[in-house]
Amino acid sequence: MSRREFIKTTSLGLLGVSLLSLHKPQLKFFSKDQLMGKGNPVLFGDGYQLRKKAHEAFVAMKNEAITHGFKIKVVSSYRNYAHQNRIWERKYQSFLKEGLSPDQTIEKIIEYSTIPGTSRHHWGTDIDIVDGNAPQPKHLLLEEHFEGNGPFCPFKEWLDEHAERYDFHLVYTNTKDRKGFKYEPWHYSYAPLSKPMLQEYRTLNIKEELQNIKLLGSENFSDNFIRKYISQNILDINRYLL
């Protein structure tokens, strides 16, 4: 293992341990409920919901995009715990009926969906976006639509050049050897808010919190599973957003 790989692995491991900490959370700016999607944040937007500063930056980016022929369409923004939990319970019960074990069910769900209480969409800082002026395929959020001759490829190229000027950064990149959630060329995060929120989120004991609220299937969350989920699905993201 190279020195760089060792440092990265060690750092992610330490970050994972912090989210399993037995100490009480040291929260300064955001409540535990806000971080887990159970709060009641003040949100802004027409057809989407973002925190104030993220909304203002998004509107500015959206207005510039218009001058280049793109109409930014928000497919998903803020999602509260209850919304994410409905998705989780539907999939959990469905996979169990198909004959999967609880552990297999959990692994199957997190290929594409976050565990309720752990989603970045709980924060009001993240958006899934496409070009509303382009032809709209049946399933919007597929990687193939953003690459090659896909309808959103020109839009993605524009985002690559301009989004970061508005402090929006791709979350799940196509970086080689990145683990966790797969590449999502549509998912952007407003860094000035999401970075401090992640820092405070890291102080929570996620396993304990999810079991306390009796998330369906959470009794099957082992310490090893939570450490892996944290290091890969929560923290193996665009390095700039850590």
pLDDT tens figures, 193-209: 999 999 999 999 999 99
Four-CA torsion 152, 155, 161, 165, nearest 10 degrees: -120
Q: What average pLDDT does the segment 88-99 reach?
A: 97
Across the chain, mean pLDDT equals 92
Closest listed residue to residue 220, CA positions, set 230, 211, 231: 211
pLDDT of residue 18: 52
| pLDDT surpasses 70 at 121 | yes
* Band of pLDDT at residue 112, cut at 50, 70 and 90: confident
| pLDDT surpasses 50 at 83 | yes
| pLDDT surpasses 50 at 99 | yes
Q: Please write the tens of the pLDDT for every residue from 207-232.
A: 999 999 999 999 999 999 999 999 99
SS (H, E, C) the chain: CCHHHHHHHHHHHHHHHHHCCCCCCCCCCCCHHHHCCCCCCCCECCCCCECHHHHHHHHHHHHHHHHCCCCEEEEECCCCHHHHHHHHHHHHHHHHHCCCCHHHHHHHHCCCCCCCCCCHHHCCCEEEEEECCCCCCCCCCCHHHHCCCCCCHHHHHHHHHHHHHHCEEECCCCCCCCCCCCCCCCEEEEHHHHHHHHHHHCCCCHHHHHHHCCCCCHHHCCHHHHHHHHHHHHCCCCHHHC
pLDDT of residue 138: 95
pLDDT of residue 25: 61
pLDDT of residue 111: 86
* Band of pLDDT at residue 98, cut at 50, 70 and 90: very high
| pLDDT surpasses 60 at 147 | yes
Non-local CB neighbours of 165 within 8 Å, separated by 6+ positions: 61
Q: What is the pTM of this model?
A: 0.88
pLDDT of residue 188: 98
Q: Which single residue is written with the structure tokens 């799940």?
A: 172
pLDDT of residue 27: 83
Closest listed residue to residue 32, CA positions, set 123, 125, 126: 123
> What domain count does the chain have?
1
Q: Please write the tens of the pLDDT for every residue from 20-34.
A: 554 566 688 999 999
d(CA 242, CA 238): 7
- Sheet with 72-76, edge to edge strand ranges: 72-76, 126-131, 187-190, 168-170
| pLDDT surpasses 50 at 8 | no
d(CA 81, CA 216): 13
Amino acid identity at 12: L
pLDDT of residue 16: 53
pLDDT of residue 28: 85
Domain limits for position 114: 3-241
We report the CATH number of the domain holding residue 112 as: 3.30.1380.10
Q: What average pLDDT does the segment 133-148 reach?
A: 97
Non-local CB neighbours of 5 within 8 Å, separated by 6+ positions: none
What is the percentage of the chain residues whose pLDDT exceeds 70?
89
Q: Which single residue is written with the structure tokens 């976050």?
A: 114
